[in-house]
Amino acid sequence: MQENTDIPMIEVEDLTKYYGEYPAIENISFTVNRGEILGFLGPNAAGKTTTMRILTGFMPPTSGTARIAGYDVVDQSLEVRRHIGYLPETVPLYTEMGVIDYLDFMGRIRGMGKEWRQRRISEVIDICRLGDYRTSLIGKLSKGFRQRVGIAQAILHEPEVLIMDEPTIGIDPIQVVETRNLIKGFGGEHTVILSTHILPEVSMVCQRVIIIHEGQVVAVDRPDNLSERLRGTERLEVDIRGPSADVMTALRDLPGVQDVTRADRDDVGVYRIETTGSEDLREAISNLVLQRGWGLLRLQPIQMSLEEIFLRLTEPDSDRE
């Protein structure tokens, strides 16, 4: 390849897309380096799919530019399409075709020669563990296996850039773990962009994360920095058997507790504790309950919802770089 390794594999500058009057994304800019796995995190309708469709050349932006491997997605669309592997969210497949036939077709329309095609088809079948389903009709495969066929076609032509829209949606938990490991393995060799609305997934798979919300970039960071920033917002849910009034006051008096709300479930009090500090209050709470001789039935940190994370990140006082 003629490209310089120093230039970023994906460069996006001020990308804006309007659907009629409504902006799907506004002034999105980011770059992805060669071999990097970038997570695209955002709730539904945040603009993830729109951005990916622009990058793959499926639709043009209203304004702004995007370059993949140095090629402009609008002016050099065919070149761009040669360099990408794409897995759309719905995993569209020809249901009436067999797995091998389908992969062969996808290889052909990407201009792969016979030998390369045959070698790669057997490779991707191994990678995606489709060995037992070579000749099965795609329409008869389960959702998880279709997902694998979708991934297989995306990596078939050894693309430099892999674009995956919600690759783990709608498949069972074991397959989710497998898929994540698979994607992790693509880093280094391929440059990967994947979108998701699951926060832990990003920290597991990606080296860098872009959070977008309502079409705008809210934060760009490494996943561990992000969790750091989001710390101190932990919430705990505790089930305690004991006199509720006492429990309430005792919990409120603990240092680091901001607020306690209470809901009863059967004869047990369920307390929702909002903490302010960054320290872990779980030990303090369990000690307190033991000292008072109450019963500690459950103690669970509650994860923030994506919406809350966005609120947090868009708060004016948060330390955005």
Partner 1 sequence: MKNTITIAWKETRTYFASPMAYIIMAVYAALAAYYFVTSISGALPEATIRGYIIPSTFIFTLLSPIITMRLLAEEQKLGTLELLMTAPVRDFEIVMGKFLAAMASLLSILVPTVYLVIMLTWFATPDIGPILSGYLGLVLFGMATLSVGLLASSLSGNQIVAAVLAMGILLILTVLDLASTYAGGIFEVLVLQLSITTHLESFARGVIDTHDIVYYAIFTTFMLFLTVRSLESRRWR
User: Which residues in this chain contact partner 1 in the complex, by CB under 8 A?
Assistant: 19, 53, 56-60, 78-79, 81-82, 84, 86, 88, 90, 92-97, 105-106, 108-111, 153
Closer CB to partner 1, 114 or 265, in the complex: 114
**Separation between Cα atoms, residue 208 and residue 131, nearest integer Å:** 33
Closer CB to partner 1, 147 or 275, in the complex: 147
Closer CB to partner 1, 5 or 44, in the complex: 44
For residue 95, give the amino acid letter: T
Strand ranges (E), the chain: 10-19, 22-32, 37-41, 63-68, 71-72, 84-87, 161-165, 191-196, 208-213, 216-221, 235-241, 257-265, 268-275, 295-302
286 Cβ neighbours under 8 A, 6+ residues apart: 296, 299
The DSSP result for 150-186, as a single string, is HHHHHHTT--SEEEEESTTTTS-HHHHHHHHHHHHHH
Of 183, 192, 134, nearest to 162 (Cα)?
192
Closer CB to partner 1, 74 or 313, in the complex: 74
> In the bound complex, what is the minimum distance in angstroms from residue 37's beta carbon to partner 1?
20
> In the bound complex, what is the minimum distance in angstroms from residue 153's beta carbon to partner 1?
7
Closer CB to partner 1, 88 or 242, in the complex: 88
> In the bound complex, what is the minimum distance in angstroms from residue 100's beta carbon to partner 1?
13
> In the bound complex, what is the minimum distance in angstroms from residue 159's beta carbon to partner 1?
11
> In the bound complex, what is the minimum distance in angstroms from residue 181's beta carbon to partner 1?
24
> In the bound complex, what is the minimum distance in angstroms from residue 20's beta carbon to partner 1?
9
**Separation between Cα atoms, residue 12 and residue 81, nearest integer Å:** 16
**Separation between Cα atoms, residue 287 and residue 265, nearest integer Å:** 23
Instruction: For residue 315, give the 3-state DSSP assignment.
Output: coil
Element containing residue 234 per DSSP (H, E): none
Closer CB to partner 1, 105 or 246, in the complex: 105
